[in-house]
Amino acid sequence: MLTGVPGEVIPDGAVLVRDGLIEDVGPAADVIGRAAAGTPRVSFPEARILPGLIDVHVHLVFDGGEDPVATLAATGDPALVLDMAARARRLLDVGVTTVRDLGDRNGLAARLRDAVAAGTVPGPRILTAGAPITVTGGHCSFLGGQADGVEQVRALVRRQAEDGVDVIKVMVTGGHLTPEGPSSWELQYGTEEVAAAVEEARRFGLRVAAHVHTREGVEVAVAAGAHTLEHCTFLTEAGPPAGPDADEKLIRTIAEKGVYVCPTFHGGMGALETRFGADVLRPWLEIRRDQHEQGVRLIAGTDAGVTGVGVEQYAEGLRWLGRAGLPADAVIAMATSVAADALDLGGRTGRLRPGLDADLIVVDGDPRADLSVLRHPRLVVARGRFHVPRAGESLPWE
């Protein structure tokens, strides 16, 4: 059993689940001995148990196809919420028990969040940002979260908080999903606007996720107090950064301030490598390795839903973190305990600890030796609800 803390391993472990929570965890003989007589048991002698996986950056409204924006525009809300529910189930199939949705339309992710929590539909725990905050005509403005200037940003944060979002998303720079809007290397908001969002969000107990690509955007988000940096690519108009050395000081600042960084590595990177060659991706891999070595708290998120990125490709993103040179133990923590801390859920999930929600997976093989074994879990438990991903497979109850 891997508890979610790097290096913390129980060779023959067991977890006791009751009423959706972890009641006991430890060596199997001890846990079984402490359990009430007649407690049902399911056994996987050759497998590994670890906490449920967390994807901190998804877009359930997007389908991951060639033109997800056009598909979204052509899909009405009644059909869209059913599509989103299907994607949520597919996330559960690959062991993801918690997601943070960072780009929604018309509050559909919140409706799905509540349905999953009630047990009406299967899926992972969902945290939703609602529509991301962006300038008029800016990146993802078609989702509805437009605000210009400090006062409009404050007002929109208040309105979203009242609507019941779990996190605030701010588009500090542009992005490729909105061709008519600012490019990825262009700044949309300055420090004043982002700081206003952070300050207003804090009043409601919410954290702020900042979509940032450029060095300038990263500086704005860090200075403003954003909690997580999404992408954080240090992109320039000419393309990827020349190398991590040029941004050493800023990377150290990110580490010192304890800001979390989501690289949004995903399964679609393999297609990019095939199309453009390994040299194109090398700068992105090098900067992640350098960030990790400098002590930046990296977390696992895939940007699932954007072009070429399906929700079922979660484990492929982890493999790319491994290819960047990050130790497997560290990658597993980025997908479990560190990700939970980043989402302010460390007291509820991300580790195998008594009193936490029963979010866990069982996989064949050792992910410390091969992260790809995380692709196909045998069992997923999400807040105590058992889910068997493999069609036709039954659990080995004793």
Residue 236 CB neighbour total at 10 angstroms = 16
More confident residue, 7 or 56: 56
Rounded average pLDDT over 284-291: 93
Asked whether residue 219 carries a pLDDT value surpassing 70, the answer given is yes
Cα-flanking dihedrals φ and ψ of residue 13, to 5°?
Answer: -105, 165
Mean of the per-residue pLDDT values of the chain? 95
Does this model's pTM top 0.95? My answer is: yes
Report which DSSP code applies to 244: G
pLDDT of residue 279: 85
pLDDT of residue 394: 85
Comparing CA positions, the residue from 145, 81, 70, 139 lying closest to residue 113 is 81
* Contact by Cβ (8 Å): 88, 124: yes
More confident residue, 387 or 176: 387
User: For residues 284 and 288, what is the distance between their CA atoms, to the nearest angstrom?
Assistant: 6
Distance of alpha carbon 197 from its chain centroid, rounded? 21
Residue the block writes with tokens 């107090």: 225
Rounded average pLDDT over 48-74: 98
Residue 277 CB neighbour total at 10 angstroms = 10
pLDDT of residue 245: 59
> Cα angle at 80 between 308 and 85, to 5 degrees?
80
pLDDT of residue 241: 67
Go through the domains of the chain in sequence order and give each one's CATH number. 13-51+351-387 (2.30.40.10), 129-342 (3.20.20.140)
Measured between alpha carbons, how far apart are the two ends of the chain, in Å? 19
Q: What is the pLDDT of residues 113-144, one digit of tens each?
A: 999 999 999 999 999 999 999 999 999 999 99
Rounded average pLDDT over 173-202: 95
Q: What is the pLDDT of residues 335-387, one digit of tens each?
A: 999 999 999 999 999 999 999 999 999 999 999 999 999 999 999 999 999 99
pLDDT of residue 391: 77
Q: What is the pLDDT of residues 245-257, one digit of tens each?
A: 568 899 999 999 9
Comparing CA positions, the residue from 244, 243, 245, 184 lying closest to residue 216 is 184
Residue the block writes with tokens 């944060």: 157
Comparing CA positions, the residue from 93, 124, 3 lying closest to residue 377 is 93
Rounded average pLDDT over 384-394: 89
pLDDT of residue 237: 78
Handedness of CA 290, 292, 296, 299 (dihedral sign): positive
pLDDT of residue 283: 87
Comparing CA positions, the residue from 330, 328, 313, 299 lying closest to residue 271 is 313
Say what percent of the chain tops pLDDT 70: 98
Asked whether residue 276 carries a pLDDT value surpassing 60, the answer given is yes
pLDDT of residue 17: 98
User: For residues 157 and 154, what is the distance between their CA atoms, to the nearest angstrom?
Assistant: 5
| Sequential DSSP letters for 313-351 | GHHHHHHHHHHTT--HHHHHHHTTHHHHHHTT-TTTSSS
Rounded average pLDDT over 317-346: 97
Rounded average pLDDT over 53-60: 98
User: For residues 222 and 125, what is the distance between their CA atoms, to the nearest angstrom?
Assistant: 28
| Sequential DSSP letters for 100-160 | EE---STTHHHHHHHHHHTTSS---EEEE--SPBB-TT-TTGGGS-B--HHHHHHHHHHHH
| Sequential DSSP letters for 43-101 | --TTEEEEEPEEEEEE-TT---SS-HHHHHHTS-HHHHHHHHHHHHHHHHHTTEEEEEE
